[in-house]
Amino acid sequence: MTVATIARSRRRSELSLGLLVIAVTVGGYVLVALANGPRLPPNVAILLGWVFGLYVVAHLAVRKFAPASDGTLLPLAAMLNGIGFVVIARLAGAGRDYPQQARVQSVWISIGIAVFVLTLIVVRDVRIFERYRYIALLLGIAFMLLPLVPVVGQSRGGGRLWVGIGPLSFEPSEIAKVLLVAFFAAYLADKRELLTEGRIRIGRWFVPSLRDLGPLVLAWGMALVVLAYEQDIGTSLLFFGVFAAMLYMTTRRSAYLVGTFILLVVGAVVAYKAFGHVRVRVDNWRNPWPNARGTGIQPVQGWYALGSGGIAGTGLGLGQPWQVPLASTDYIFTSIGEELGLVGSIGVIALFMLFVGSAYRIAVDSVRPFTKLFSAGIATIIALQTFLIIGGVTRLIPLTGISLPFVSYGGSSLVANFALLAILLRMSDDAARAEPPPGAR
């Protein structure tokens, strides 16, 4: 099958799936409006044009700049984003600050699509990250530590992870994770033989030198800095977990997993002993009922929301998801579970699984070691971030307070994830066009 044939088939699939995304998004918005009255909302035509226009712009950009790329990633991301927007728009009927969030989220979605298109235009070859790996490392560290700057750094919810410049505020860690994963992919692709085989002999075993293990120590140190000074347990877990997974995928040595797990446990114990908000989250994970009207109100109300949703949910617009604090950000999954039920919750998880599986497939199809690791690292970011937030909401693990990719309210995460999506599609297009070396499977 030629590249042109593959490109036509994938773009047709992308367009047809996009029509389904548009129907679900606009249909969900209409259902929310009808729950409050018998008439259709007057802006439904504007919403239809807005959703249709954004998807068409994104589809045409992919058709122009990455025609042979995967045909499912964009519809999956758009479906998740559409579900998140419908839930946030539904919360707007509850008053408080949710109406403003719905308007702001629509603007951020438009900006995210613009960044998506711009990334496809500018990043014509992802190997630019490999060539300038140390610049990516320095920029990533700078963005990671930017909230510690006294003038611009802001503290919210017990963590110092925001930066405010005039009326604009964002989470620089969302930009940092892209740059740092690119650096780790480039470094591990270059040092994979030394990290796998080792250069120092101890008895019957060969182990890597301290110089080769430098990035592992750097990752652990960065995670501890973020945890200690920014008090952001979610970002530190995400950052360290992604690197540990990439290191294992590079070397396939279980010793690295054991070592990273030990370092993670040490960091977790230190965080529990040193920081009060970490102890509060662990205590609420173990038993929130003694503080059900105080610090434990989030998990308690979240369980009530998921329980009242049952199998099929209360229906869009018929529940009370605003009873859960931060229902549009940290606990947006409980809003979905209450009004769409277990069926809708499993559907959202299935969308994430399909997205992550498609991203890992790009890694398998890639020929170059760097693109393999880079795409696998991006897939691991999305997978681990989804696990951390859904696992925290459902009490599988303590709540970490990070956003659900493409779904939660917030501009920084949304824009960064659309940039990651564009990079994935670029690597998918390169993999479809590349000829494997002789003898490769």
Dump pLDDT digits (tens) for 142-166.
888 888 777 777 766 656 667 877 6
Q: Which two tokens stand for residue 395?
A: 């009490």
Residues 430-437 have a mean pLDDT of 73
Which has more pLDDT, 390 or 215? 390
pLDDT at residue number 150: 78
Question: Is 414 in contact with 80 (CB distance < 8 Å)?
Answer: no
pLDDT at residue number 268: 78
pLDDT at residue number 198: 64
Rounded-to-integer distance, Cα 335 and Cα 85, Å = 12
Q: For 343-361, what is each residue's pLDDT tens digit?
A: 999 999 999 999 999 999 9
pLDDT at residue number 69: 93
Least confident of 185-194, 231-240, 316-325: 231-240
Residues 319-343 have a mean pLDDT of 91
Confidence of residue 441 (pLDDT cuts 50, 70, 90): very low
Q: What is the mean pLDDT of the chain?
A: 85
- Over 80: is that where the pLDDT of 133 sits? yes
Q: Establish how many alpha carbons lie within 13 A of residue 419's alpha carbon, considering only the half-sphere containing its beta carbon.
A: 21
Return the amino acid letter for 243: F
Q: For 24-71, what is each residue's pLDDT tens digit?
A: 999 998 888 887 777 777 778 888 899 999 999 999 999 999 999 999
For the chain, give the percent of residues with pLDDT over 90. 38
pLDDT at residue number 414: 92
pLDDT at residue number 23: 92
Rounded-to-integer distance, Cα 168 and Cα 63, Å = 33
Q: For 216-273, what is each residue's pLDDT tens digit?
A: 677 667 666 666 666 667 777 888 888 888 888 888 877 777 877 887 788 778 778 8
Nearest alpha carbon to residue 98 among 291, 283, 329: 329
Confidence of residue 329 (pLDDT cuts 50, 70, 90): confident
Rounded-to-integer distance, Cα 364 and Cα 427, Å = 11
Rounded-to-integer distance, Cα 209 and Cα 213, Å = 6
- The pTM is what? 0.90
- Over 70: is that where the pLDDT of 434 sits? yes
pLDDT at residue number 336: 95
Handedness of CA 77, 83, 86, 92 (dihedral sign): negative
Least confident of 56-70, 179-193, 355-369, 370-384: 179-193
Q: For 74-130, what is each residue's pLDDT tens digit?
A: 999 999 999 999 999 888 766 666 778 888 899 999 999 999 999 999 998 898 998
First to last CA, the chain: 17
Confidence of residue 400 (pLDDT cuts 50, 70, 90): confident
Query: Which residue in this structure is represented by tokens 């309210």?
Result: 409
- Over 60: is that where the pLDDT of 176 sits? yes
Question: Is 195 in contact with 189 (CB distance < 8 Å)?
Answer: no
Rounded-to-integer distance, Cα 281 and Cα 397, Å = 10
